[in-house]
Amino acid sequence: MFTGIVEEMGAIAGLKKTLVGTRMTILASIVMGDLKIGDSVSVNGVCLTAVTIGERDFAVEVSVETLGVTTLGKLDVGTPVNLERAMKLNERIGGHLVAGHVDGVGIVRSRHQDGNTIFFTIEAPSDILRYCVAKGSITVDGISLTINEVSEHGFGIAIIPHTAKVTTLGLKQVNDSVNLESDLIGKYVERLLQERSQLPKSTPVIDKDYLQKRGLI
């Protein structure tokens, strides 16, 4: 489990294809402090396991499935990545609860700056947007962010200069892809309500007939 507060930007030092996916070597400094083999590390929002540890780098193995459903398959040697070690229970949660299980990939559709704030609009799949609410939380490339607005096809976020400087989001441009993880609590709430038959198993079509049957018109 993570908090979405990026500890540092590392960089891809090596990529080696294996029978089960790709072994990725990542240059880092801060996260190397107490990192052990078997520890979990969030790499651009994807929970991965450290399999080897050097003096200035560590390696993780990324499965073919993970490469296909996240942006990790597009990374090249030298590409910067957001890194966060697994959270400790005795520390503050500066962001929100993040599992490191990417729900889908979004696309940056707009970027503009107003004063010292950078505003992004990110297009996202409908199964992610269903958990998005204004002033709610979402994880973008491992970064815990607050949603400013939600539209039919995407959502808006804003970042301050500090976030732009210490994470890869400051480097993102229009048409770049990002890993997205929906708010974990929203998923559990939906599941519990479905089990209690308070929500339909699939999203209903809200039309005149639907409203009449429920006495709403």
Do β-strands 117-123 and 137-140 pair in parallel, antiparallel, or remain unpaired? unpaired
- Is residue 56 within 8 Å of 29, Cβ to Cβ? yes
Report phi then psi at 55, rounded to 5: -70, -40
Reported CATH class of domain 104-195: mainly beta
pLDDT at 198: 58
Instruction: Walk along the chain (217 residues) in steps of 10 and give the mean pLDDT of each run.
Output: 96 92 97 96 98 97 96 97 93 90 97 96 96 96 97 97 97 98 88 71 62 68
Q: 8-85 and 104-195 share one CATH topology?
A: yes
Q: What is the topology classification, in CATH, of domain 8-85? A: Elongation Factor Tu (Ef-tu); domain 3 (2.40.30)
Domain-by-domain residue ranges, the chain? 8-85, 104-195
> Sign of the CA dihedral 106, 108, 113, 116?
positive
- Is residue 138 within 8 Å of 145, Cβ to Cβ? yes
pLDDT at 111: 98
Q: Where are the beta strands (DSSP E) in the chain?
A: 8-18, 21-27, 40-43, 46-53, 57-63, 80-85, 104-114, 117-123, 137-140, 143-150, 154-159, 177-181
